[in-house]
Structure 1
Amino acid sequence: MMRIPILYEDNHLLVVAKPPGIPSQGDESGDLDMLTLLKLDLKERYNKPGNVFLGLVHRLDRPVGGAMVFAKTSKGASRLSEAVRSRHFGKTYMCIAQGKPAVSEADLIHYIRKDQKRNQVAVFDKPAPDAKDARLSYRIVAADEERSLIAVKLHTGRPHQIRAQLAHIGCPLVGDMKYGDCRGAASSHIALWSTSLSFPHPVTKEQVTFHSVPDSTGIWSRYTNEQLEAAAACYTGDDDIPIHKKGRYL
């Protein structure tokens, strides 16, 4: 079984750190996906007969890693999905971009239209036919002339939103050849990580927040663990962000 960090689990929620390169759910590739892996694990750990219920609440693009929440009950799935629809589901990310945005902190407002056949989006500065508004806030945590470590808070959840919006302002994400990074070799990973999820617990209604921080290795090795933790804490107000490797694994 693949080593997938479990960030939190109770009778209603399963929060994990998705490794990059794994689909969130089954797709045309036929590769093993997060939903299937977690169902298999639950079945084995709890010795469950028959099919195991696990609700997919949101998705991360295949080359993206970090925090994901799944619902262990149908009631939990319904309530979490409603939190997403009503925008009571907070998401923050960190990324490494080529170059440096013109200002250190800003809100980006664009309009995004998805091409389903190409699985790619187009970004517009003004409203366009079939394009939906896309809003995010970003803050540069560390930068030089070549690359920038950036914290991002999403206000809308459009497909490929962070990747496309930052590319649109001239700062494609490291490793993201789909949106303009042509400086490196093709990879199954891009420098984008889901650092926190915040939402009302589907049963207790208490506001809960879960964090994930990548290790300072591979595509993230340019920055120290302290810098990565600082990026993860930018929009949550937390001083001590736990690194996911300290949690337990499947």
Structure 2
Amino acid sequence: MASEKTHSNKDNLEVLYEDNHIIIVNKRPGDIVQGDKTGDKPLSEVVKSFLKEKYNKPGNVYLGVVHRLDRPTSGIVLFSKTSKALPRLNKLFQYKDAQKTYWAVVKNPPPKEHDRLTHFMKRNPKQNKSYANIKEVADSKKAILEYRLLKKLDNYYLLEVDLETGRHHQIRSQLSAIGCPIKGDLKYGFDRSNKDASIHLHARELKFEHPVKKIPIHVTAPPPKDPLWDACL
């Protein structure tokens, strides 16, 4: 797969892959993918500015948001550059034809080195939190992920997580439910926050078929630069 890696120093944007139809970037923890009530500049606008400048585009730049990552999470975010590609990409994600792999650094050893977790997630919008239940409860949605222990660090454990479903805060909630809250994730049971308000959850890999070219795309994102993530590599 041909890919072009570019850096935009102006906005510290790391582009992992780009062609005429799509652009894939490595989101930093703390960036928001789309605008919210904070009024902070979202990643979507940063990418638009990057494209406008790179190609000297007059007027508005088209950019479609295909999926999101939680604000404290880092890693791969895919955007559509054309209205032709967007509905096809949406369908890929809707029908789980895009394979997403995450890295999570947790404090406690998981109960098993490799397991498939099934919970029923119930979201509490007021708390902006999702609860993982063993049995089905009212208004819950089935959530499935598979994890494996990749590495034992000095004080932590690196897990690789493959998502089968895409629920709100799914990885954070399901790992917390098995006694493995993610480092820095106060909301889901870790005992202290990271200094930069990030959590050690990173969207590491994305595999899918290109919506127009019909070729396989496989992108890997390096984790943020910090001593703990460095130890994972």
TM-score w.r.t. the length of structure 2 is 0.92
Match of 1:95 in 2: 104
CA distance in 2, matches of 1:99, 1:114: 25
Judge conservation of contact 2:28–2:224 (CA < 8 Å) in 1: no
Q: What CA distance in whole angstroms lies between the structure 2 residues aligned with 1:145 and 1:52?
A: 46
SS in 2 for 1:141: strand
Aligned to 2:56: 47
Q: Does 1:127 align with 2:142?
A: no
The CA distance in 2 between the partners of 1:98 and 1:190, in whole Å, is 12
- Secondary structure of 2:97's aligned partner: coil
The reply on whether 1:111 has 2:123 as its aligned counterpart is: no
In 2, the alpha carbon distance for the partners of 1:219 and 1:24 equals 24
Shift of 1:146: 3.9
| Displacement after TM superposition at 1:140 (Å) | 0.5
Q: 1:47, 1:187 → 2: CA distance?
A: 34
Judging changes above 3 Å, is the alpha-carbon distance between structure 1 residues 165 and 147 closer, same or farther for their aligned structure 2 residues?
same
Q: Is the 8 A contact 2:147 2:162 kept in 1?
A: yes
Q: Residue in 2 aligned with 1:17?
A: 26
Residue pair 1:137, 1:152 contacting (<8 A) in 2 also: yes
| Aligned residue type for 2:108 | G
Distance 1:73 1:184 in 2: 39
Residue pair 1:100, 1:145 contacting (<8 A) in 2 also = no
C-alpha distance in 2 between matches for 1:145 and 1:45: 43
SS in structure 2 of the partner of residue 70 of structure 1:
strand
Q: 2-side partners of 1:173 and 1:142: how far apart?
A: 15
Residue pair 2:185, 2:193 contacting (<8 A) in 1 also: no
Rounded to whole Å, the distance in 2 between the matches of 1:117 and 1:149 is: 31
1:33, CA displacement in angstroms? 1.0
1:136 to 145, 148, 161: 145
Corresponding position of 1:204: 213
Letter in 2 for 1:50: G
Quote the Cα distance in structure 1 between the aligned partners of 2:73 and 2:197: 9
Deviation at 1:186, TM superposition (A): 5.6
Residue 35 (str. 1) matches residue 44 (str. 2): yes
1:232: which partner in 2? none
Distance 1:206 1:83 in 2: 14
CA distance in 1, matches of 2:157, 2:84: 41
* CA shift digits 1:176-206 (9 cap, x unpaired): 0110111455642100000111111010112
Aligned-pair identity in percent equals: 41
Cα root mean square deviation, aligned: 1.5
Number of residue pairs the alignment of both structures matches: 224
Q: Is the 8 A contact 1:80 1:202 kept in 2?
A: yes
Aligned equivalent of 2:71: 62
Alignment of 1:217 with 2:231, yes or no, is: no
Alignment pair present for 1:150 and 2:159: yes
Q: Is 1:181 aligned to 2:181, yes or no?
A: no
Amino acid corresponding to residue 111 of structure 1 in structure 2: F
Structure showing greater relative contact order (alpha-carbon pairs closer than 8 Å, 6 or more residues apart): 1
